[in-house]
Every structure is written in C-alpha cells, then in structure tokens.
Amino acid sequence: MNRFFLAVIGVCLSVTVALSGCSKKQMEEDLKTCSDNLKQIGTACELYATDHKEHYPKTIEELQPKYMATIPTCPVHDTSYVYTSQKDPDSYEVYCPGSNHIELGLENDHPIFNSTQGLVTK
C-alpha cells in the first residue's frame, strides 16, 4: 500500500514540475511576442511620421490599414495595447496594460515602447 501511495505522489510531483516548466516557457514566449508586437507598432509609427510631416498618429487606429494590416494584441488574454502621443515635440508611447507579464518580473503596464527609449521592460 505504502509503495502505491509513494508512486502516486511521485507521479503527481513530476506532472506538476512538467506543467510549471511549460507555463514558464509559454510566459516567456508570450512576452517575446508582445515585445515584438510593440516594436512593430513603433516601426509603423515611424513610417506614419515620415508621411505626415514628422507627426505621429493621434490614435493607434490611424496606422490601419496602410502601416499595419491589423493592430496586434498581447497574446495574454488578447489584451489591446494602450497608445498615447503628443505634439511639439512629437512623441508616442505604447504599452501592454495590466499585469500580463508580472510573473516574469515586469511591472504593471510593461513592456512599453516609446519614441525616445524604444523597448522598456523594467
């Protein structure tokens, strides 16, 4: 009997370890996708500015469809990005809102991509 329970506990533990390993890897992949999405939005903003006397778009939707076919969302919960821009001097910032990547040590509302620093994860 004891052996049987030990075997059950052993299986449970290895399944738990395997699952947590998978989800960490998944979280890292999601963060990579999210960061890449923000960079792509940044690139689209620069292209937009080139065509609009160096002004960034007022809303993220203005990038569609000419500069981006679709505006990407964070793979975690399909979260829409938050975009803000300012004029004179022109700048923009786009970030992943909430705590989607908090398990990987990022703060709320990160990563951020902005016109002065590029990608900010910390």
Q: Smallest distance, Å, CB 8 to Zn ion?
A: 38
Cα–Cα separations (whole angstroms), residue 74 to 3, 4, 90: 46, 44, 25
Q: Smallest distance, Å, CB 75 to Zn ion?
A: 7
User: Exactly one of 100, 106, 110, 113 binds Zn ion (CB under 5 A); which one?
Assistant: 100
| Interacting residues with Zn ion between 25 and 44 (CB under 5 A) | 34
Long-range contacts of 95-100, Cβ-Cβ distance < 8 Å, separation of 24 or more: 95/38, 96/34, 96/38, 100/30, 100/34, 100/74, 100/76
For Zn ion, the closer of residues 85 and 100 by Cβ is 100
User: Exactly one of 63, 74, 106, 112 binds Zn ion (CB under 5 A); which one?
Assistant: 74
- By the rule CB under 5 A, 106 interacts with Zn ion: no
